[in-house]
Structure 1
Amino acid sequence: MPPPDPSRPGVLHLDLDAFFAAVEQRDKPSLRGKPVVVGGVGGRGVVATASYEARVFGIGSAMPTGQARRLCPNAAYLAGRFEAYRRVSSQVMGLARELSPLVEPVSLDEAYVDLSGRGDGRVWDVAAVTEVAERFRADVKALTGLTVSVGAGGSKLVAKIASDLRKPDALVVVPPAEQAELLAPLPVQRIPGVGSVSAERLRRHGFTTIGELARAGESELVRLLGRAHGSGLWALSRGIDPRPVVSEREAKSVSAEETFGVDLTDRRDLEHRAARLAERVTSRLRAQGLAGRTVTIKVRRYDFQTANRSRTLQHATSTSREVARHARELLSGIDVSDGIRLLGVGVSGLTGYAQADLLSDADEPEVAELVEEEPEEEAPEPSAGWRPGQDVEHDDHGPGWVQGSGTGRVTVRFEGPHTPPGRIRTFADDDPALRPADPPVYDPRA
Structure 2
Amino acid sequence: MNKLILKAGVFALSVISVSVAAKVSPEEAARLGQDLTPIGAEKAANSDGSIPAWDGGFSNHDADVVRGTDPFADDQVLFTITHDNLDQYSDHLTPGQLAMFDKYDTYKMHVYPTRRSATYPDNLWPKIQKNAENAELVAGGNGIQNYETTTIPFPIPESGVEAVWNHITRFRGGAVTRNVAQFPVLSNGDYVPVELKETLVFPEYLKTGREEEDDNILFYFLQEVEAPARLTGTVLLVHETINQVKEGRRAWIYNAGQRRVRRAPNVAYDGPGTAADGLRTSDNLDMYNGAPDKYNWELKGKKEIYIPYNNFKIMDPELDYEEIIQAGHMNQDLIRYEKHRVWEVEGTLKDGERHIYSKRTMYLDEDTWTASIIDHYDGRGELWRVGEALNTQFYNVDVPWMAAEALYDLSSGRYISLGLGNEEREYMEWDIEPQRSDFSTNALRRTGIR
Q: Which category describes the TM-score, using the shorter chain as reference length?
A: under 0.3
**Which has the higher Rg, Structure 1 or Structure 2?**
1
TM-score scaled by length of structure 2: 0.23
Q: TM-score, normalised by structure 1?
A: 0.23
